[in-house]
Structure 1
Amino acid sequence: MIEKKSILLVCSSGKASSQMLLFQLKREFVDYLNDIFICNVYELETFDLIHIDYIFSTVSILTHKSVPIIEVHDFLE
């Protein structure tokens, strides 16, 4: 049995690119993902990470977070 993960998708500000990346993540990892949340880099500072397993970000995050951060491009390759 696969334990599904919840992720946070962080983008600079563009909603169109984040929606495209969200679609790709759902399509590629449907069997592994529970919830996907989206925020911009400014909202990250106040986002409650209590239920987040991983952060996927299209921008560099320079502050320490309590969950692993994976930097990705706007489109999965």
Structure 2
Amino acid sequence: MNIQFYDVKSKKKVSVSSDKVKKVKFTKKTAAGKTRYTYAVRAELDGMKLTKFVSEADWKKLDAPETAPPKKKK
């Protein structure tokens, strides 16, 4: 199964095999103190890092390893 990403540098859609992607779950605290989750799929193609945000249902269906979100640059 291939997953479609949008490559910003080449300005076109690219396909990446599902065995080369990783799942990422971003967490954020809201002002009200609640935790909000954002689900994404990440891959690397020709040195370019690609990210696609997906629904929770699609994220759970995907059979890929889960990784920690990238560290924020300061």
TM range (shorter): under 0.3
Q: Greater helix percent: which structure?
A: 1
Q: Which has the higher contact order (CA 8 A, sep 6+)?
A: 1
| TM-score, length of structure 1 as denominator length | 0.27
Q: Which has the higher strand share?
A: 2
